[in-house]
A and B are shown apart, each in its own frame.
Chain A
């Protein structure tokens, strides 16, 4: 059985600070990480590899530096990795990215499962998975918190549903999006990290390899501007006697608003 996991590399949010008053973003350290939720998808797939011997193929679209994300995926346990990079991909929005990934998935072929993270932390979007499923004509199960069974060409999963969860059954091939609470992603072994850089080959595909034309990738959505939440004024830290602190806080809560009277819940 073969599973394909598209992963996204994003700017590490701990490496930049957002200055609300100046409405600027200061990049202190330009580091890139695998979108944390995509790591959950990879982890869930690797568990299927451990339990059912599923072959795991990682796939990523982006600049050549995305190579690092794929090496990390290999170090975690993926069997193969493909890097989709081309100058023509630079402006890709969600629709274009889904098209590029779908073409690559078709080219890899013979898949039973596609697993994505539920949400990309950078854009906040959760549309690549369903767009892929639509393009490839697959059923989808989103927000999966546990893959509970895989046998006879069928998969069982628990998905978040209306505050609780629903257990569902679906035939393969299927696309799943994995909820962040599904698992804690594993840390790769030191030796595997070395190997990932020394020994593994990562195949690289561009526009022509995927049979795409540049005009198919015209973005549908554009960024008009950035906006910033109102500035937060950070208050003082009380380290004094607990009794004093409690008194001050009670006083403050009364001043800031009479929540007790108004809220009712």
Chain B
């Protein structure tokens, strides 16, 4: 039945949609010459969403000499990769990246665009959403499709993860979301996967970065496994008293094959660097096991560790708020307990 006949039958005028938004686009990130894990995690999730929509997964890469990375995106599930290959794009600048991406998205009209909830994604995604006149859902932990309405449903933490909102788009397109690193699994690589690669024209006339980077400090040594992904985290706080006390935390972490972390107090005392501070703004952890030693557990700490599956708290003060969120609480001096625990573990 064609539309005209339907209009005749119902007496209603049917407007044909003028613009068709299609496909799921993943903005991939490159760090030290490699794709970041979040880029691949997003491709994996995009494949699932694409299956529900009957759509393709497209990805876009910015930088220089990107073919092998594009090939990897294809092996992980992208149907197409667009390459903005230009020496001016090796270093990230909001202005240049936003120019390339907004041009591309205005031309291609994606149905959904995914960014990592990384420093780059959080810099770019809201500006592009504003430029394209559309909505953005930040820091998503889950994504799915409402198939009856053909819209994206996005689960994102509110109040630091106390609970979640499942939000949706009310008609605006493209639907843009930033995705929390580690929220989705890495897709398997399929060496036989095939897809298209296309270079896009890079026209940056009159566009240049407005923020000049004077120096970059990597600062503290990075943990081998990012703390946010560690399965076991042993964290220490002021209750350990001194650096010697904190060394026990390091020993316990090693014995359990876990990572060392600390509270704001441990940071202030200089026992840890910022990259190991568990706090709302710093590192959010969701290990299988979290052991808090001498941490009283303020609200920032709580929000940052509440997704831990099993929490052990060791603290002298029975009133410490940490005990309210612990699965097991030991009211005792951690400096006394940890050495005993270590010898038990080693004996066992």
Contact = CB atoms under 8 A, between A and B. Distances in A.
Interface of A: 13-14, 18, 25, 37, 93-95, 98, 118-119, 121-127, 129-131, 133-135, 139-143, 156, 160-171, 179-181, 218-229, 232-239, 242-243, 245-247, 249-254, 256-257, 259-265
Interface in B136-193: 136-139, 146, 153, 155-172
Interface in B231-273: 231-232, 255-259
Contacts of B222: 163
A79 B160 CA distance: 31
B201 interface: no
Nearest to B336: A242
Contact of B219 (A123, A164, A226, A260): A164
Contacts of A245: 330, 332, 337, 340
Contacts, number: 264
Name the prevailing secondary structure of the A interface residues.
Answer: mixed
B156 A234 contact: no
Nearest to A243: B340
Nearest to A220: B135
19 contacts: A13-B162, A123-B165, A127-B136, A134-B126, A134-B127, A140-B94, A164-B275, A166-B214, A166-B215, A222-B170, A223-B167, A229-B163, A245-B330, A246-B344, A247-B340, A247-B344, A249-B312, A249-B328, A264-B257
Contacts of A167: 213-217
Nearest to A132: B130
A229 B166 CA distance: 12
Contacts of B137: 221
Interface stretch (B1-9, B13-21, B317-325): B317-325
For the complex of A and B, the 7 pairs showing the least CB-CB separation, nearest first, are: A220-B135, A246-B340, A250-B344, A164-B219, A127-B126, A139-B210, A130-B126
Interface stretch (B42-50, B57-65, B71-79, B280-288): B280-288
A164 B218 contact: yes
A130 B123 contact: yes
Contacts of A122: 158-159
Given A95-B135, A134-B126, A220-B169, 6 more contacts: A123-B138, A125-B138, A162-B119, A165-B216, A220-B134, A234-B327
Interface in B94-119: 94-95, 119
B345 to A, nearest CB: 5
B220 interface: yes
B170 A229 contact: no
B46 to A, nearest CB: 20
Nearest to B283: A163
B170 A170 contact: no
Name the prevailing secondary structure of the B interface residues.
Answer: mixed
B135 A221 contact: yes
Contacts of B122: 126, 130, 142
B281 A249 contact: no
B328 A170 contact: no
Contacts of A133: 127
B119 to A, nearest CB: 6
Contact of B131 (A98, A134, A222, A224): A134
Contacts of A164: 216-220, 275
B231 A259 contact: yes
B224 A238 contact: no
A265 B341 contact: no
Contact of B214 (A124, A129, A169): A169
Nearest to A119: B281
Contact of B166 (A168, A224, A235, A252): A224
A256 B341 contact: no
Contact of A168 (B131, B214, B275, B331): B214
A50 to B, nearest CB: 23
B125 to A, nearest CB: 8
Contacts of B156: 124
A219 B172 CA distance: 9
A133 B129 CA distance: 12
Contact of A254 (B166, B216, B306, B348): B348
A202 B130 CA distance: 30
Given A223-B167, A226-B163, A124 B332 contact: no
A208 to B, nearest CB: 23
Contacts of A156: 214
Contacts of A170: 210-212
Nearest to A165: B217
Interface string B193-221: 00000000000000000111111111110
B152 to A, nearest CB: 10
B327 A232 contact: yes
Contacts of A262: 231
B329 interface: yes
